[in-house]
């Protein structure tokens, strides 16, 4: 099933590049074809929605192999219709399924080779930040701490540039997790305090649980009970 997903995404990505570069496609007269193309795009989008919903359902029920296949199919359909925001969202979810299955190399490649390039080409900052966060998480789990720290830092830089407070706090807490793994507890606590103060100043309450859990983890590791 993994090979099927790779084939679908690879073909979709190649198709997107061909559509953008081909002058024939750009210059071809429509002769009434525009309405047909719109109809096809709508059908592709509808198929993509169906596959995405099925993938989401399978993920929630724990059927990760089926979720992987359906997110791959959804990505293919959205790319075919030119719905690139949904295409990117499908790729992020596909990568996360690989992450849940501990297929870290596959999870990394979906983001680096397809999702991040798509979001960068579109100038979609939210998608770029989500991609950086996902890569930070993947590298953290794979114990590639230098890479994890770099991508969480990139997320934070972009978050500050776009005034995305939630993504900025998320990036700090990602960095905290890296420092905990490196046993840099004092530095991690400083970052936790920074995240907590920033969340308070921006009236953002969604990270309270994560902040509390990070503090507990540090306390447990310091006392050797974790």
Q: pLDDT tens-digit profile of 39-80?
A: 445 667 899 999 999 999 999 999 999 999 999 999 999 999
Q: Is the pTM of this model over 0.75?
A: yes
Q: What angle do CA 108, 6, 142 make, to 5 degrees?
A: 20
Query: For the chain, which residues score pLDDT lower than 70?
Result: 1-43, 224-226
10 Å CB burial of residue 91 (0-12, 13-18, 19+) is buried
The number of distinct structural domains making up the chain is 2
Report in angstroms the alpha-carbon separations of 53 from 12, 79, 185. Answer: 19, 17, 41
The pLDDT of residue 41: 59
Residue 137 lies in a domain: no
Distance CA 111, CA 13 (A): 12
Q: Give the model's pLDDT for residue 31.
A: 26
Question: What is the predicted pLDDT for the residue at 42?
Answer: 62
> What is the predicted pLDDT for the residue at 14?
37
For residues 177 and 117, state if they share a domain: no
* Residues spanned by the domain of 152: 145-226
Give the pair of three-digit tokens for residue 92: 């992020």
Whether residue 14 is found in the same domain as residue 111: yes
On whether residue 138 sits in a domain, the answer given is no
pLDDT for position 22 = 29
Among 58, 53, 54, 48, which Cα is nearest to 85's? 48
Q: Are residue 117 and residue 213 in the same domain, yes or no?
A: no
The confidence score (pLDDT) of residue 226 equals 46
Residue 86 shares a structural domain with residue 18:
yes
- Alpha helices, DSSP H, located in 22-82: 23-27, 34-61, 64-81
């Amino acid at each position: 099933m993994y090979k099927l997903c790779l084939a679908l995404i690879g073909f979709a990505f190649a198709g997107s590049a061909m559509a953008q570069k081909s002058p024939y496609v750009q210059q071809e007269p429509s002769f009434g074809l525009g309405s047909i193309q719109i109809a096809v795009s709508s059908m592709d989008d509808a198929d993509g929605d169906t596959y995405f919903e099925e993938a989401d359902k399978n993920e929630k029920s724990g059927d990760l192999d089926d979720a992987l296949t359906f997110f791959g199919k959804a990505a293919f359909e959205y790319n075919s219709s030119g719905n690139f925001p949904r295409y990117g969202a499908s790729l992020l979810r596909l990568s996360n399924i690989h992450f849940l299955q501990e297929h870290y190399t596959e999870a990394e490649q979906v983001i680096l080779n397809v999702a991040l390039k798509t979001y960068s080409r579109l100038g979609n900052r939210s998608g770029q930040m989500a991609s950086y966060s996902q890569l930070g998480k993947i590298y953290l789990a794979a114990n590639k701490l230098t890479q994890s720290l770099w991508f969480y830092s990139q997320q934070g830089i972009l978050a500050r540039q776009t005034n995305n407070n939630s993504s900025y706090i998320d990036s700090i807490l990602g960095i905290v997790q890296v420092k905990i793994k490196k046993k840099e507890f004092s530095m991690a606590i400083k970052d936790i305090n920074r995240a907590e103060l920033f969340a308070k100043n921006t009236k953002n309450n969604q990270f309270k649980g994560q902040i509390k859990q990070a503090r507990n983890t540090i306390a447990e590791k310091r006392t050797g009970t974790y």
